[in-house]
Structure 1
Amino acid sequence: MINKLAGKKAPKETLVNVKELINAYYKNKPEVKEQTQKVSFGTSGHRGNSFKSSFNENHILAITQALCEYRKNAGINGIMHIGIDTHALSEPAQITALKVFLANKIKCKIANKYKFTPTPVLSFTILESNKNSEFLNDGIVITPSHNPPSDGGYKYNMPNGGPADTDVTSIIENRANEILKNDLKDIKVIDEDKIMQSEYLEVIDFITPYVESLETIIDMNIIKEAKLKIGVDPLGGSGLEVYKKINEIYGLELDIVNQKIDPTFSFMSCDHDGKIRMDCSSKYAMSSLIDLSKKYDIAFANDPDFDRHGIVTKSMGLMNPNHYLAVAIWYLFSNRTWKDELYVGKTLVSSSMIDKVVNSLNKKLFEVPVGFKWFVEGLHKGTLAFGGEESAGASFLRKDGTAWSTDKDGVILNLLAAEITANLKRDPGEIYKEFEEEFGKAYYKRVDAPANFEQKAKLKKLSVEDITSKTLAKEEIEAIYTNASGNKASIGGLKVTTKSGWFAARPSGTEDIYKIYAESFISEEHLELIVKEAQDLVIKSIEG
């Protein structure tokens, strides 16, 4: 059900009280016997809310100390790069983390006058720092991504530049909870007023080297020469200075329509449920930029940590992320001189239109569970040309086939949309319409519903044997998966496919909900039937 506030500015009385939120960060202490207040690393790190005692100073102290111990045991002895986004809790969490890192004599680098650091910039920086280095360098990004203003997040990126996998995060998670249980007795910490004087801290410019290197992955000249009218909305996120620097270095004259940095995100339009959520793939959250779409040849936006992209075209308005991923893959393989044997990565909940496009290119598909971490190794080694998620997160290789970032990069996906428009004189929406003519129209939907910890655990353990029906939406079931076809990793749920459609069901790793993804190549009615039957199955499995 769509909330009456969807697409409208949030009433002033609904905005988060930043002072109270930060006070709660320091004042509230988690009860470690309460599952929702423990350290818990989902697909994108630990996330929580200080009002709910799920993201507080004690959490960050414990996680950071656990990370220090992990690094030592793993032989990671180089620089810890630290980036934050514009959420209210990000800066307090950075201060807490620095107190622990520096007490453990770990060399840290943080941003200079560009106080905020996008996730892709941090990933790029880690990879660059490890070239010709005798030490192993890594980093953390303090961000809850597109989550509401009251949330905080903490994500660890390995020396390969990408988000840590569960074999690492489980060690950190377990140790952090043990530290919490022992009343923080194992914490090493320095006083806050000694942070900036520490010999182990260096303040640097993360953004300029990243922007200067963009020409190695995007054809910046063709964009400039086309003199496109380009609109950009950073949505109050960490990459505002990236776009300013792009204009400075490349002379693109991007029109940055919103330059406000406000931790309440009061300038945002409410999402489908009436909440402020900086989701650049939501037509409700993006309504202000969509209203300006006819003014620009191409327009785009990002979420607060800039790992997601939102593409707005004259031909289609806000593009469905699945649609744009299909276009991006087609364009890159048609306009880059990469090796023939490179794979294309997609998550199993992404559109099957991508499968059809990849097949038409005679390329190999690498389908994985939800989580960008599954693409890290391939991007790092240069065997995976592209890795993308249905939630508008993707990255790809440089023009020479080497790694750029091994985390999601909303900046390069946005600039690629400008390159496509400049080079082909057609925007990505027009190209996708050609795909529909060739491959058929795809009807896609994601449905979220409330689920508590126990219900999510049941859904995660669904097996092939739990599906007793032989048909789905009046079509014969062709396959049932609990492991992804590309890397055989567990889905944490399941996927059911037929000739003309499919659905996947899985619990959220960061919110108290479960998610159903579904697609039909027949009709909207057929899609709704798939969704209904999928919901019936999930409800039966988690409430039975």
Structure 2
Amino acid sequence: MNERAGTPALETDLIDVDALVKAYYDLKPDVTVPEQRVAFGTSGHRGSSLNTAFNENHIIATTQAIVEYRTKQGITGPLFIGTDPHALSAPAYTTALEVLVGNGVRVLVDQFDDYVPTPSLSHAILAYNRAGNTDEADGIVVTPSHNPPTDGGFKYNPPHGGPADSDATSWIAARANELIAGGLVDVKMSEPSAVETYDFRGAYVDDLENIIDMAAIKASGIRIGADPLGGASVGYWGAIRDRYGLNLTVTNPKVDPTWRFMTLDWDSKIRMDPSSPSAMASVIAHKGDFDILTGNDADADRHGIVTPDGGLMNPNHFLAVAIDYLYSHREGWRADAAIGKTLVSSTMIDRVAGFLGRDLWEVPVGFKWFVPGLIDGSVAFGGEESAGASFVRFDGTVWTTDKDGILLALLASEILAVTGKTPSQRYAELVEHFGDPAYARVDAAATPAQKAQLGKLDGDAITATELAGEKILAKLSHAPGNGAAIGGLKVVTENAWFAARPSGTEDVYKIYAESFKGPEHLRQVQLEAKAIVDAAIA
């Protein structure tokens, strides 16, 4: 934790927007350098133009590869495209339009030249594809999500509306790098004049009454504060207030690509992470002014929930509360609809699922795994410990297949309006019933070779039989929900667990751990977890 964490950003912390944009056009990537290649993580290709990791040639090639991929897949409908306020988003958006139009793709952009949150784009794709059209739509969101202002990001969402799976992104990245290496000779580009418009905001906001009890929120009169953190939801919260007559204040309507109004994150970087107490410090300072106060990241796929009695909620805590509430207040959901969680999310969710009599569907990290279940309603809620989640409508049909931070923020208000208790108070009730888990994530050093070994590790390679004084019950290298490879390891005992995964950007691996026996036991779990993993990848 840096000593400046949680303090206001200074002029010296701010990016030079002109230099960043100039580097986007001037610097040309060399794909023989690994750091300069197109590479899709769990949420698209990300990087800074200053490091030659997110530049014009990357976006030209990636967009052309997407065009070729959709042709290969027989996708002939419109492509919805939106962007967020990051400085690199606007030039990348323009570049993408030039390639899409040059290839004759029917493109739909925002009607009001507004930013487009990730969930709004997912909602648009699904609405088109459920409307009986003979062709299918897909989309692109130009955003690096909560990443620092220096970064750009580029995400592809195929016709199912959610994040593209690894088969799609691997093909797109490989083709993009091939195009760059070949001098972009196979790329088609033209002026982006022939584009159509779509009211992303209106379609999304008008539909909210089919998934959130907006009437109950209005009738309660609760005081709601919504902070977009300078992100793409800035125009949405005022529209939600006006459309449904809510007692809602947009606490910070400012948009600035330097994000000068942010407080610094744990490592002294500007990062729009609504689940971080340091990044949310200026929001938390106003917790006494509202009954519910919420934040969203730059593309609004993450949520932060602040209550006057509890401050900023741990994302795991709110996920457990949301699941407990929703599966008790949604009569239109399938009786056999499972609860979806990633394997590094809290075991409190497991205990809530058992109490509710619902199946738990535990998958690897990455929201893409929830897409099929959300589409057919067999998984009514999917959530990640990193404050990303979505769920189905009142009637059990799909809402979005990407994370929806606006939706989860509104759910916090519904919970208070309907139950008369804040989400923090609801979590205290869960703790009283199920126990109080201690949860943390730490990093441990690892070489690239060790990270590669961890990513392919089989649970059977672990010889330990005990963890922090308890018998090991499971050593997992594949998720129990869908059998997909974890890309790491999870070890489980009766009252604790840890999971280890290699970092995609640093020479470390991440250890997620939790214990229902308190903080001291958690520390013991963390120490032994590191010893177990180090022995396996030595």
Range of TM-score over shorter length? over 0.9
Q: What is the match of residue 188 of structure 2?
A: 188
Q: What is the match of residue 208 of structure 2?
A: 214
Residues 82-231 of structure 1 mapped to structure 2, 5 A cutoff = 82-130=81-129, 131-190=131-190, 194-195=191-192, 197-198=193-194, 201-231=195-225
Q: What is the match of residue 76 of structure 1?
A: 75
1:238 pairs, out of 232, 235, 239, with 232
Q: What is the match of residue 255 of structure 2?
A: 261
Q: What is the match of residue 396 of structure 1?
A: 391
Q: 2:307–2:424: 8 Å Cα contact kept in structure 1?
A: yes
Change (3 A) 1:541 1:176: farther
Residues 332-371 of structure 1 mapped to structure 2, 5 A cutoff = 332-337=326-331, 338-371=333-366
Change (3 A) 1:114 1:310: farther
Q: Deviation per CA, 1:420-478, whole angstroms, max 9, x where unpaired?
A: 00111100110100111111101000113565644432221222243222211122211
Instruction: Answer yes or no: is 1:64 the counterpart of 2:59.
Output: no
> Partners in 1 of 2:18 and 2:440 — Cα distance?
38
The 3-state SS of whatever aligns with 2:202 is helix
Give the CA deviation at 1:35. Answer: 1.1
Q: 1:117–1:239: 8 Å Cα contact kept in structure 2?
A: yes
> Partners in 2 of 1:178 and 1:44 — Cα distance?
21
Bigger Cα displacement from structure 2, 353-362 vs 41-50: 41-50
Instruction: Answer yes or no: is 1:25 the counterpart of 2:24.
Output: yes
Q: What is the match of residue 456 of structure 2?
A: 461
The 3-state SS of whatever aligns with 1:481 is strand
Q: What is the match of residue 251 of structure 1?
A: 245
**Structure 1: 5+ residue stretches without partners:** none
> Partners in 2 of 1:172 and 1:3 — Cα distance?
38
Instruction: Answer yes or no: is 1:379 the counterpart of 2:374.
Output: yes
Letter in 2 for 1:223: I
Give the CA deviation at 1:513. Answer: 4.4
The 3-state SS of whatever aligns with 1:213 is helix
Q: What is the match of residue 280 of structure 1?
A: 274
> Partners in 2 of 1:211 and 1:509 — Cα distance?
35
Letter in 1 for 2:139: G
> Partners in 1 of 2:101 and 2:450 — Cα distance?
41
Q: Deviation per CA, 1:455-502, whole angstroms, max 9, x where unpaired?
A: 432221222243222211122211100000000000000100111100
Instruction: Answer yes or no: is 1:447 the counterpart of 2:478.
Output: no
Letter in 1 for 2:486: I
Q: 2:460–2:475: 8 Å Cα contact kept in structure 1?
A: no
Bigger Cα displacement from structure 2, 363-372 vs 452-461: 452-461
Change (3 A) 1:38 1:451: farther
Give the CA deviation at 1:315. Answer: 2.2
Q: 1:43–1:510: 8 Å Cα contact kept in structure 2?
A: no
Q: 1:372–1:408: 8 Å Cα contact kept in structure 2?
A: yes
Letter in 2 for 1:94: Y
Instruction: Answer yes or no: is 1:477 the counterpart of 2:472.
Output: yes
- Alpha carbon RMSD of aligned pairs, Å? 1.3
> Partners in 2 of 1:149 and 1:259 — Cα distance?
17
Give the CA deviation at 1:314. Answer: 1.8
Count how many residue pairs are aligned between Structure 1 and Structure 2: 536
Bigger Cα displacement from structure 2, 201-210 vs 278-287: 201-210
Q: 1:47–1:510: 8 Å Cα contact kept in structure 2?
A: no
Give the CA deviation at 1:184. Answer: 1.2
Give TM-score, length-normalised by structure 1.
0.96
> Partners in 2 of 1:300 and 1:512 — Cα distance?
34
The 3-state SS of whatever aligns with 1:482 is strand
Letter in 2 for 1:474: G
The 3-state SS of whatever aligns with 2:440 is strand
> Partners in 1 of 2:284 and 2:432 — Cα distance?
25
Q: 2:141–2:156: 8 Å Cα contact kept in structure 1?
A: yes
> Partners in 2 of 1:90 and 1:146 — Cα distance?
13
> Partners in 2 of 1:279 and 1:136 — Cα distance?
33
Q: Deviation per CA, 1:5-51, whole angstroms, max 9, x where unpaired?
A: 10001221121111111111111111111111111111111111111
> Partners in 2 of 1:247 and 1:510 — Cα distance?
39
Q: 1:43–1:509: 8 Å Cα contact kept in structure 2?
A: no
> Partners in 2 of 1:244 and 1:459 — Cα distance?
46
> Partners in 1 of 2:226 and 2:68 — Cα distance?
41
Q: 2:225–2:290: 8 Å Cα contact kept in structure 1?
A: yes
> Partners in 2 of 1:119 and 1:453 — Cα distance?
32
> Partners in 1 of 2:247 and 2:57 — Cα distance?
44
